[in-house]
Structure 1
Amino acid sequence: MKKLEWLALLVIILSILTHFLNFFGAALIARLYSPEYVGISNIHFNLMTSARSLLLVIVNVVIGIWLFIQASRSKNTPWIWLLFGISYGLIAAVLFYLLSIYEAKAYNNAAAPATDSTA
């Protein structure tokens, strides 16, 4: 596994931990400050937050699966990119393409014949 993939794995673990802490923090705030305070019924508040969360999860899962397929084709570790895509969504996709461009340029530079400028 490449060093960048180990770093991605560490970021994934920290991200999952952050998501859990955010969830428990939001649950605590929801208990302390009732939605009726801002004029929204409890049912509407729960439906809005659930729909938003569900949509974000679906988008991130689709991006993760897509990154899994792309990483398999480019000989990277696919499950790392799957988890990274599920955790970060579009940011993971952008990072994947930036790293792909960087690797392609590094490969092209290594494959290019060295020119002798002293001739």
Structure 2
Amino acid sequence: MRIAIANDMFMAVEALRRIVVKIPDYKLAWVAYDGAEAVSKCAADTPDLILMDVLMPSMDGVEATRHIMSQSPCAIVMVTASVNRYAAKVFEAMDYGALDAINTPILGDDGLLNKITAIARLIGKSSHR
């Protein structure tokens, strides 16, 4: 499964990248550092899943999700520092088609990996996990 990361924080990108590469069947498709870049990269190379930050410069993850789902739809999970704190934005993104949301993981936390595995099954890109 090809997974993209859209996040403006280097440490979050690195934590997400490390989770993605843990499973041999998962490949990092690309990284975008703001919503506009994510929309552009997705139009040129649509991944199976995008791990989308909620708050980013130039275009936030909600607006990027809206554009992506109308132009080059794919599975999107909102990844944010606090799902509870940004619940209104998370629900808005889900209204545009995001499948789920999770707090930005810390290293060693398998919550996101479990969520990616469940989405892989849902979209027919299941791994042997």
**Band the TM-score falls in, shorter-chain normalisation:** under 0.3
TM-score (norm. length: structure 2):
0.24
TM-score (norm. length: structure 1):
0.25
